[in-house]
Amino acid sequence: MPLNPAAPVQPTEDERNLAMLCHLLALILGATTGLGVVGPLIIWLWKKGQSPFIDFHAKESLNFQISLLIYLSALGILTFLTIFLLVGVLFIPVIVAVAIFGLIAEILACLAANRGEWHRYPFCLRLVA
């Protein structure tokens, strides 16, 4: 059962491709430049009134990228502040684990969008509604 039962029709191939592109751009831009929010934001601003499916996936990707930024920034600050106590070194594997989780979550969302599913990220703050 889809997460949005109010959607009466399946998304078109173009809608699925653009929804998948939201997640792919977030993944590529996030991994290479740290600006994972840019791709989903542009697609969301461009297509938000035209397709509920693209709107949903762009907002999900945008929210997840913002959430990852918050989580990784907080862990980075904690690591920096506690590095002098030698406890901060323990946060480094946690930062790596969160980054790997983000990578896997983006790939799963990308595949779900390609299948036409209404996918939601786990542990995601819903800041853009």
Q: CA 95 to CA 75: how far, in whole Å?
A: 7
Position 1 scores a pLDDT of: 36
Q: What is the DSSP string of 41-108?
A: HHHHHHHTTT-HHHHHHHHHHHHHHHHHHHHHHHHHHHHHHHGGGT-GGGHHHHHHHHHHHHHHHHHH
> What's residue 88's pLDDT?
74
Report pTM. Answer: 0.83
pLDDT tens per residue across all 129 residues of the chain: 345 545 557 888 999 999 999 999 999 888 888 888 999 999 999 988 899 999 999 999 999 999 999 999 999 888 888 877 777 778 889 999 999 999 999 999 999 999 999 999 998 988 888
